[in-house]
């Protein structure tokens, strides 16, 4: 029997996980097929990130600063129209309307994708290997008109990605409460080039010749609000 406890939207397991994951590089594209040749249809997209560590009292003490990142996605149809979304319902509706965007929600209209909820802190005790936020995906239920699904992170605070020690995205089979096997992972480490970048376009699922594929984009951008990132995706990534 699997036993777990939930801690700030995270789960601790007594389950041994066998990792046979593909370690992706920026810009790498892969088919969603397992080693057996079977298509990957039901999986989770999980993101894990670290809190910021600062020193105080002449370096004798360490402070941990919460990092509130939001994992979101937008769904694009065959005509390159934005037709659905998942992002936090906590975003100010008046600000969203300035970008022509509706109120946030945690489930797609077709019920194929669901967000587990908001994590407001990041890993304050170092990388625990667990996901802070997760979106579950059932490709069998995705509306047939959808051809692209973009995943991205926005920082609600004022920190940029050069300060955040790590951000990791992985695709795994299982549920938000149980990891059966990791299919692919992509790590983004803090770099000086990320200075001033407060959002990260992580990846996209896209359909080609009727089959879904995955593209590890990994582009940091200087957007200060989710609406800017969505506009950027629509204008530059379709």
Domain CATH for 121: 2.60.60.30
Question: Is the distance from CB of 26 to CB of 203 less than 8 angstroms?
Answer: no
How far is the first Cα of the chain from the last one, in angstroms, to the nearest whole number? 45
Tell me the C-alpha to C-alpha distance, in Å, between residue 216 and each of 25, 69, 93, 125, 134: 7, 19, 30, 27, 17
Give the pLDDT confidence score for residue 158 in this predicted structure: 83
- In this structure, what token pair is assigned to residue 230? 């969505």
Distance CA(198)–CA(219), nearest Å, equals 11
Ranges of residues in the chain with a pLDDT under 50 are: 1-19
d(CA 133, CA 45): 9
Instruction: Classify 93 as helix, strand or coil.
Output: helix
Q: Residue 18: its pLDDT value, please?
A: 37
Per-residue pLDDT, 160:
85
pLDDT value, residue 193: 78
The pLDDT, as a whole number, for residue 139 is: 97
Q: How far apart are CA 163 and CA 161, in angstroms?
A: 5
Between CA 196 and CA 231 the distance in angstroms is 19
Those residues with Cβ within 8 angstroms of residue 52's Cβ, 6 or more apart along the chain or in another chain: 64, 65, 67, 122, 159, 163, 164, 165
- Burial code (b: 16+ CB inside 10 Å, e: under 16) for 189-209 equals ebeeebeebbbbbbbbbbbee
Q: How many CB atoms lie within 10 A of CB 11?
A: 19
- The two three-digit tokens of residue 228, written as one number: 């800017």
Cα–Cα distance for residue pair 123/214, rounded to 1 Å: 26
The pLDDT of residue 13: 36
Domain residues for the domain of 105 are: 4-236
CB 24 within 8 A of CB 31: no
Instruction: Report pLDDT for 24.
Output: 84
Number of domains in the chain: 1
The structure's pTM equals 0.85
């Amino acid at each position: 029997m699997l036993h777990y406890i939930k801690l700030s939207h995270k789960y601790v397991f007594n389950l041994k996980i066998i990792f046979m994951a593909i370690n992706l590089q920026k810009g790498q594209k892969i088919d969603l097929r397992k080693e057996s040749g079977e298509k990957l249809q039901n999986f989770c997209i999980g993101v894990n990130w670290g809190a910021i560590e600062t020193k105080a009292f002449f370096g004798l003490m360490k402070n941990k600063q919460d990092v509130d990142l939001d994992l979101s996605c937008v769904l694009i149809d065959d005509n390159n129209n934005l037709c659905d979304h998942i992002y936090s319902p906590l975003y100010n509706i008046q600000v969203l309307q300035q970008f022509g965007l509706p109120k946030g929600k945690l489930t797609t209209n077709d019920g194929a994708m669901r967000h587990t909820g908001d994590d407001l802190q990041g890993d304050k005790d170092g990388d625990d290997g667990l996901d802070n936020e997760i979106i579950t995906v059932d490709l069998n239920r995705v509306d047939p008109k959808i051809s692209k699904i973009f995943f991205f992170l926005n920082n609600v605070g004022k920190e940029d990605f050069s300060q955040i020690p790590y951000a990791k995205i992985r695709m795994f089979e299982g549920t938000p409460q149980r990891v059966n096997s990791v299919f692919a992972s992509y790590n983004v480490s803090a770099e000086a080039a990320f200075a001033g970048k407060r959002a990260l376009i992580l990846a996209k699922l896209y359909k080609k010749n009727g089959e879904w594929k995955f593209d590890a984009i990994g582009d940091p951008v200087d957007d200060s609000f989710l609406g800017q990132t969505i506009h950027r995706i629509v204008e530059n990534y379709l």
